[in-house]
Amino acid sequence: MRTVIEFQTDPSKYRHWKVSYDGPVANLIMDVDEDAGLFEGYKLKLNSYDLGVDIELADVVQRMRFEHPEVKVVIMQSGKDRVFCAGANIRMLGGAQHSHKVNFCKFTNETRNTYEAAEVDSGQKYIAAIKGACAGGGYELALACNHIMLTDDSTSSVSLPEVPLLAVLPGTGGLTRVTDKRKVRRDRADIFCSIEEGIKGKRAVEWRLVDEVIANSKFDDTVQERAREFAAASAKADVVKGITLGPLDKTISDDGSISYGLVEVVLDRDKRMATITLKGPNAAAPGDMAAFEAQGDQAYLLKLARELDDAILHLRLNEKEAGLLAFRSQGDPVLFAAHEALLAANADHWLANEVRQYWKRILKRVDVTSRSMMALVEHGSCFVGVLAELLFAVDRSYMMEDEFDDDSRHMAAITLTEANFGPYPMGNGLTRLQTRFLGEPAQVDVAKAKIGEALEAETADEIGLVTMILDDIDWDDEIRIFAEERASYSPDALTGMEANLRFAGPETMETRIFGRLTAWQNWIFIRSNAVGPEGALQRYGTGLRGNYNMERV
């Protein structure tokens, strides 16, 4: 029987995090239950974490945005003495399957990125308040915060000791954030990442590893004072009350297929393929944002987003051999456009903003998902605006041309909206259409001139919005051939190829983080120096250092 990793949780189920709210300031306390690891075989000592700890953190960050929009500053701190966080649990990393390690690092990256962007996207600033040892992934938790405060005592320091201790890299963006975000000088960064004991006190400030160091006797009071200062200076509008994110309605069948309210996932394990169908709205859009807010987590675009997000995560971690994801949509495109238009027209409303920012994060999650992906624009589809972004995120898109025998659905069409020209950038800072047309930027303007039009197959093909248009004679065969071809190739080669091809254009801190995860960390995690019988991850804590193959390759 398969063990299913569940990404749904709520505060009543937390084992590792505690949150208290004091007006515009939230205190987020990491207090990991060492006996509550996601799997057996290790203890989460010293506030070390595994995927289960990070699933809870992702839930905290999400609820902070939707359930507690009154919060302007979040203080991340430890609930344990003399340790902030020891990073990813070494026993877990040493014993986990390679695929789990890499997917764990990816999800951890995405969670870090979410609260790192919270200040710009949602007006919520994160402070890391460090008392005690802050090592490896623990320092990476802090690095993703907007402001880092370190207490000045004999035991408190920051460190990235993965290279000397574990023969791996800081896999959740540590190296990249040190150089690109904190802008630590290269030679100092080299020293910092090569020593086990870390750096503390005034030197940590001088090297820009932290923002300020506070005397231990004044630390707690100063942290709260700083949070109040930041909250007072915040431009975030005051919001009295958020909405509640209830549990998803989700059913998993014996064959692994999943049914939600608005999303259906049909899994074909023999073909190593999952088909994800997104359903359009079945009712008119709310008349205004008050009505939208009254619908809470059942508002169409929020409900659809939550279900799609959960489906992507489920497939990543629980169906690793489903190498091809096919996206479909079915519904009324005019109705969908009206739901999206309500949010666009009220982008400065806190909830409209949060739903739009959530879609931005989901689309980025799709971008970096290590699966081959295609989209099927069929008759009856509703690829409009934000859903049309999926067509430009996948590796190939196929569209039905002309009428199909015995098919009474409305004609296949793509409708572009303002959503395709700015609100949902990729990690490279460009829109998906700008990335698609990097070599012919004038095509973006051609596409923009078609906003609001239902573009059928011939027009969509002329503009370059789809890979191929197919009539009813060729449709089934062409898609079958592509699916079989993809299933026959090496998944390793495909992962490398797709990750390279999806991110044309400028490099950013975000693309560097995920690019290095896909390439370097992926490679290092299968080398014997790290995970072999005498590798550093296996020998950690035994008193023996790793026995390394010293060839430079």
Closest by CA position to 356, among listed 388, 332, 335, 386: 386
Q: For residue 431, what pLDDT band results from cuts at 50, 70 and 90?
A: very high
Q: For residue 3, what pLDDT band results from cuts at 50, 70 and 90?
A: confident
Q: How far apart are CA 483 and CA 354, in angstroms?
A: 36
Give the pairing of strands 396-400 and 383-384.
unpaired
Q: Is the pLDDT of residue 264 over 60?
A: yes
Angle, helices 98-116 vs 509-516, to 10°: value is 170
pLDDT 10s digits, 154-187: 999 999 999 999 898 887 789 999 999 999 999 9
Q: How far apart are CA 342 and CA 357, in angstroms?
A: 15
pLDDT 10s digits, 106-152: 999 999 999 999 999 999 999 999 999 999 999 999 999 999 999 99
366 touches 373 (CB < 8 A): yes
User: Mean pLDDT across the stretch 331-337?
Assistant: 98
The CB density around residue 505, as the number of other CB atoms within 10 Å, is 13
87 touches 135 (CB < 8 A): yes
End-to-end distance of the chain based on CA atoms, in angstroms? 40
User: Mean pLDDT across the stretch 495-524?
Assistant: 87
User: Mean pLDDT across the stretch 200-223?
Assistant: 97
User: Mean pLDDT across the stretch 483-488?
Assistant: 94
| pLDDT for res 525 | 85
| pLDDT for res 2 | 67
* Pick from 63-77, 274-288, 381-395, 539-553: least confident: 539-553
354 touches 122 (CB < 8 A): yes
Q: How far apart are CA 265 and CA 251, in angstroms?
A: 10
Q: Output 93 or 74, whichever has higher pLDDT.
A: 74
**C-alpha dihedral (496, 502, 508, 511), degrees to nearest 10:** -40
146 touches 116 (CB < 8 A): yes
User: Mean pLDDT across the stretch 256-280?
Assistant: 97
Q: For residue 430, what pLDDT band results from cuts at 50, 70 and 90?
A: very high
**Residue 269, both tokens:** 């394990």
- Are 11-233 and 251-494 the same fold in CATH? yes
Question: Which residues, at least 6 apart from 487, have a Cβ–Cβ distance to it below 8 Å?
Answer: 271, 272, 273, 323, 324
Q: Which CATH number fits domain 11-233: 3.90.226.10, 1.10.3720.10, 3.30.70.360, 3.60.15.10?
A: 3.90.226.10
Question: How far is CA 271 from each of CA 50, 322, 369, rounded to the nearest angstrom?
Answer: 31, 8, 19
Architecture of the structural domain at 251-494: Alpha-Beta Complex (3.90)
| pLDDT for res 523 | 83
Q: How far apart are CA 388 and CA 365, in angstroms?
A: 16
Strand order, beta sheet including 212-215: 17-22, 25-30, 73-78, 125-130, 147-152, 212-215
Domain regions of the chain by residue span: 11-233, 251-494
| pLDDT for res 521 | 78
* Phi, psi of 415, deg, nearest 5: -120, 115
- Average model confidence (pLDDT) across the chain: 95
**Region at 464 (left for phi over 0; alpha for psi -120 to 50; beta for the rest):** left
| pLDDT for res 1 | 54
DSSP string, 46-78: GGEE-HHHHHHHHHHHHHHHHT-TT--EEEEEE
User: Mean pLDDT across the stretch 255-278?
Assistant: 97
Give the torsion sign (CA, 455, 460, 462, 464).
positive
| pLDDT for res 496 | 87
pTM for this model (two decimals): 0.96
Give the pairing of strands 324-330 and 273-279.
parallel
Question: Which residues, at least 6 apart from 467, have a Cβ–Cβ distance to it below 8 Å?
Answer: 396, 397, 398
163 touches 135 (CB < 8 A): no
Q: For residue 405, what pLDDT band results from cuts at 50, 70 and 90?
A: very high
User: Mean pLDDT across the stretch 490-503?
Assistant: 90
290: part of which helix (H) or strand (E)?
helix 289-294
Identify the bridge partners of residue 398 per DSSP, sorted by sequence position: 376, 468
| pLDDT for res 519 | 78
3-class secondary-structure state, position 392: helix
Q: For residue 526, what pLDDT band results from cuts at 50, 70 and 90?
A: confident
**Residue 354, both tokens:** 């949060």
| pLDDT for res 515 | 85
399 touches 468 (CB < 8 A): yes
User: Buried (b) or exposed (e) across 80-116, using 16+ Cβ within 10 A?
Assistant: beebbbbbbbbbbbbbbeebbbbbbbbbbbbbbbbbb
